[in-house]
Amino acid sequence: MVYLNVIKSYRDVVAVCDSSILGKIFESGKFQLDVKESFYKGQEVSAEKAVVMMKDLAKEDATFNIAGKESVNAAVKAGIISKENIGKIQGIPFALVLL
């Protein structure tokens, strides 16, 4: 399961993370991945549902913040990111997308 939160703005911001890492902080050297509940916690959905939702949101010129293996894999399946766009901090994959 993943959390998907749409923050309405002039350009929607879509935050997606694995349920298992919500509220955790990962650090590697000078980099930090803070999976804040206030940002990422939205609707809890299956990875398959997240793929469909991300495809629809991408059509609306949204930006994406994605964290966690299941969420990143869903974004790849949705065509939001490619494997070359994935970073890792403490073994946790993440991606930022400005479409």
What pLDDT is recorded for position 10? 86
What pLDDT is recorded for position 60? 86
For 67, the 3-state DSSP assignment is: strand
Supply the range of the domain harboring residue 27. 2-98
What pLDDT is recorded for position 99? 62
What pLDDT is recorded for position 98? 86
Q: Whose structure tokens read 């919500």?
A: 22
The domain total for the chain is 1
Q: Collect the ranges in the chain with pLDDT lower than 70.
A: 99
CATH of the domain at 28: 3.30.1860.10
What pLDDT is recorded for position 34? 97
What pLDDT is recorded for position 32? 96
Phi, psi of 50 (to 5 degrees): -60, -40
